[in-house]
Amino acid sequence: MSAKLLKRITLIAFAALAGCGPRVALVDGYDFGRVQRVGVIKFDSSRVSFGPGYDPGSAVADEFVFQFINRGVRVIERSRIEQILREQSLWESGSIDPKTIKGLGKMLGVDALIMGTVTRYSPDRKERIYIRDTRGQIREEIFLVEAEVGISARMVDTETGEIIWAGNYSYDSFYIDSAIRQAVSAILNSLRGVWFS
């Protein structure tokens, strides 16, 4: 690949990333020190298409659990939350209102619930690009791999039922697992210094 082409690709990549970051909203003056234990609900993935055997909503929720634990946050087991939601017939209806959140908080012993939506989902896509010389002969072959995920997350205080934090972010990567990991990390980094170090 010529130096000129490589330079052009690098400039395009930097231009695309410039100024990119998660959009975040926090309730002004909220004492995040009160949040000692959280529950993470499977993210709604009904707006995106995906293949059988894989649900991006579960993958995103699992990544939030993993990253919360790595940051020292106590997290309740997701299956316990989902079992209660099914028992209360709230899982399929998707109707989790403030009153329901307060009840879940008491039943589960959590201070906040994390929930949200997968807004974009494009699994690993592979593409070949051939660079030809002036005679039409293949000079180089480039493999492109791309995946994208968009996440909208919110934290709800289980005592009041109010949303105390919200963030959303889309991330492109070579693989979908990496895109999910990076998007969740970027969103959670907005709570650094406010809730955890």
Residue 21 in domain: no
Give the domain range for residue 121: 26-189
The mean-pLDDT minimum among 32-46, 128-142, 171-185 falls in 128-142
The residue with greater pLDDT, 80 or 97, is 80
Residue 109 in domain: yes
Residue 13 in domain: no
Provide the CATH number for the domain around residue 96.
Answer: 3.40.50.10610
Q: 91: pLDDT confidence band, cut at 50, 70 and 90?
A: low
Structural domain tally of the chain? 1
Residue 43 in domain: yes
Taking CA atoms, 182 is separated from 39, 112, 146, 169, 179, in Å, by 21, 23, 14, 10, 5
Pairing assessment for the beta strands 23-26 and 37-40 based on DSSP bridges? unpaired
